Amino acid sequence: MTILLFDIDGTLSTSQGAGTVAMTRTFRELWGIERALEGMNFAGRSDSWIVPTALANQGRDCSAEDLALFVDHYVPNLGKAVVERNSRLCPGVRPLLEALAGEDVTLGLGTGNFRRAAEAKLAPLGIWEYFVDGGFGDDHPDRTELLAAGLERLRRHSNDGAEAVVIGDTGHDVEAGHAIGAKVVAVRTGYAQAGELEGADVILDDLSDLRASMSALLG
Ligand SMILES: [Mg+2]
């Protein structure tokens, strides 16, 4: 049995900047901050890292209440932005999930998105229901910690000794995946700089070759 932890942005889907638009809107609505994310490199970072970091750049603290308030406003903004921006699945994702659903795997998410943001991104694309659970930005700002939390949850749906595989598009996915003892499959459909994915166990251009993808994930 295999436990799969899929990243979202740049791996399963591309939201064409919907997350950035919705976050920027939320910072403006709540705190009057314009262009809160300008100049930040947040590829592969968790939502619970991005929000406090953007506030710190403005010389503000971020309490647990601030973060909860942010989520409440961000999720509806994200829902709108996903539609406006024509968010879409990365190549091969739907056939791959359909094929995996028939295998001896536990399908999970390992994403820096808040859980409700992950749902807002994946439900309109019709793939939220494939995933039994996962690790999310709510769990921890650090990607290794949130993947570890996700793996622990997914093990409850799985056999003892099941192998874990992390699928992602940035160096943060590669590093965090190995840190939790998982095999890492990297895809070039996202936000990596040249050389960033080199530590991955397998690198795929995308997930459109079903046989190659299945063998990378389950082989
Ligand atoms: Mg990503």
Per-position DSSP letters for 29-46, written without gaps between them: HHH--SSTTTT---TT--
Percent of the residues in the chain that have a pLDDT greater than 90, as a whole number: 93
**7 with 80, same domain?**
no
* pLDDT at residue number 55: 97
**63 with 47, same domain?**
yes
Tell me the CA–centroid distance for residue 14 and ligand 1, in Å.
9
Tell me the CA–centroid distance for residue 63 and ligand 1, in Å.
26
Triad 117, 123, 128: Cα angle to 5°: 90
* pLDDT at residue number 219: 87
Residues in the chain: 219
Closest to 6 measured CA to CA, from 161, 128, 126: 128
Tell me the CA–centroid distance for residue 192 and ligand 1, in Å.
9
Residue partners of 215: CB distance under 8 A and separation at least 6: none
Quote the mean pLDDT of the chain. Answer: 96
User: How many domains does the chain fold into?
Assistant: 2
Tell me the CA–centroid distance for residue 198 and ligand 1, in Å.
16
**122 with 187, same domain?**
yes
**115 with 146, same domain?**
yes
pTM: 0.95
* pLDDT at residue number 161: 86
**153 with 79, same domain?**
no
pLDDT in tens, 27-40: 999 999 999 999 99
Of the three residues 30, 49, 84, the one that is the final residue of a domain is: 84
Tell me the CA–centroid distance for residue 103 and ligand 1, in Å.
24
Tell me the CA–centroid distance for residue 184 and ligand 1, in Å.
13
Tell me the CA–centroid distance for residue 11 and ligand 1, in Å.
6
**80 with 160, same domain?**
no
Tell me the CA–centroid distance for residue 57 and ligand 1, in Å.
23
* pLDDT at residue number 15: 87
Band of pLDDT at residue 158, cut at 50, 70 and 90: very high
* pLDDT at residue number 38: 94
Average pLDDT over residues 53-67: 96
* pLDDT at residue number 115: 98
**75 with 94, same domain?**
no
Band of pLDDT at residue 170, cut at 50, 70 and 90: very high
Tell me the CA–centroid distance for residue 72 and ligand 1, in Å.
22
- Running DSSP on this structure, what letter comes out for residue 9? B
Tell me the CA–centroid distance for residue 62 and ligand 1, in Å.
24
| Number of other residues whose CB lies within 10 A of the CB of residue 63 | 11
Are the beta carbons of 207 and 98 closer than 8 angstroms?
Answer: no
* pLDDT at residue number 160: 81
Band of pLDDT at residue 215, cut at 50, 70 and 90: very high
Range of the domain at 132: 2-15+87-218
Give me the phi and psi of 107, to 5 degrees please. Answer: -90, 120
* pLDDT at residue number 180: 98
